[in-house]
Structure 1
Amino acid sequence: MKVKLEIDPDQSENEVIIKAAKITPEIERLYRRLQENSAQDDQITGYRGSTAYYLKISDILFFETEAKQVMAHTKKHSYAVKYKLYELENLLGGQFMRVSKSTILNLDQIYALTRSISNCQIQFQNSYKTVYVSRRYYRELRTKLDERRAQ
């Protein structure tokens, strides 16, 4: 693999481009790591009442829709955000994954996974909040968690 660095004083924002003939496991791992690193320092604006809060993306446990409003949940509070779930999927890094029609989960915040006959429940450390994973997304979730553990 070739690695190339170009310095351009006219560049307003840093940009990383990966050029590959096809997606290999090595390219996919590199892409995920770059996404995770770029998303760790990012913030998103959440609203509680008339107050705007600047939330670190890494502190968010999950996003879910409630009555046509997307909510960002942290360990203690929930905040309204001005994004749709599909927009968040594109915006967020590889540490987030959709686990149901109405929920996007932060994979780094998972503490426990409880599987039963009818569903799968996710628990978070130091939080009473839980999330249910739909059967449609369960296999992909297990695969991602296993890949992260192997790294």
Structure 2
Amino acid sequence: MRVEIEKIESKIPESVKLMVHEETESIHRLAEFIEQENFRYMLLSCQKDDKIYQVQCREIYYIESLMEVQYIHMKDEIYCTRRRLYELERILPPEFVRASKSVLLNMAKVNQYKPIAGGIMMAEFENGDGTYISRKYLKGLRAKIKEGLL
């Protein structure tokens, strides 16, 4: 099956047109999935205290990699996963961007960006937490902000 994606201006409402040979139950489920925008609210499996949890990606502030474990920082909780950062970067929604070699940042959760000496920036969140954005990734982050991808 072929998929076409067309970028439109932000003032035009987004829509999807499914052109199918036959209306099946799976096509109706796909249409419902799209209409309810479930693709925007992906769940991620992670662990804490030897228990497995499903967290909503939109509630993640940032993901930090330390010693082959990825720590998922939420408002009041920290979970972990063994999935590699590059795998998470590939499957997470577009508001997640690389902020440094070891951090993925959810731009939708950032309250403010503050410049720090040496060309790096600090992203601060509503819960008082924060993470650094390295010079290497700053240009890509600025481009996403200017494109209005959030």
Q: 2:68·2:84 contact (CA, 8 Å) conserved in 1?
A: no
Distance 1:46 1:104, change over 3 A: same
* TM-score between the two structures when normalised by the length of structure 1: 0.74
2:104 aligns to what?
Answer: 104
Q: CA offset at residue 65 of structure 1?
A: 0.5
1:117 aligns to what?
Answer: 117
* TM-score between the two structures when normalised by the length of structure 2: 0.75
1:55 aligns to what?
Answer: 55
Question: Residues 87-135 of structure 1, C-alpha deviation per residue, up to 9 Å, x if partnerless?
Answer: 001111111111100000111101010012322100011x121110010
Q: 2:68·2:82 contact (CA, 8 Å) conserved in 1?
A: no
Query: Partners in 2 of 1:65 and 1:55 — Cα distance?
Result: 18
List aligned pairs for 1:1-151, cutoff 5 A.
4-7=17-20, 8-9=23-24, 11=26, 14=30, 37-118=37-118, 119-125=120-126, 127-148=127-148
State how many pairs are aligned: 128
Query: Partners in 2 of 1:99 and 1:128 — Cα distance?
Result: 18
The percent identity for this pair of structures is 24
Distance 1:74 1:56, change over 3 A: same
Q: What one-letter code is carried by the residue in structure 2 that aligns with 1:108? A: A
- Root-mean-square deviation over aligned CA pairs: 2.4
Q: Is the partner of 2:138 in helix, strand or coil?
A: helix
In structure 1, stretches of 5+ residues that fail to align are 16-33
In structure 2, stretches of 5+ residues that fail to align are 1-5, 7-15
Q: 2:89·2:96 contact (CA, 8 Å) conserved in 1?
A: yes
Q: 2:85·2:104 contact (CA, 8 Å) conserved in 1?
A: yes
Q: Is the partner of 2:30 in helix, strand or coil?
A: coil
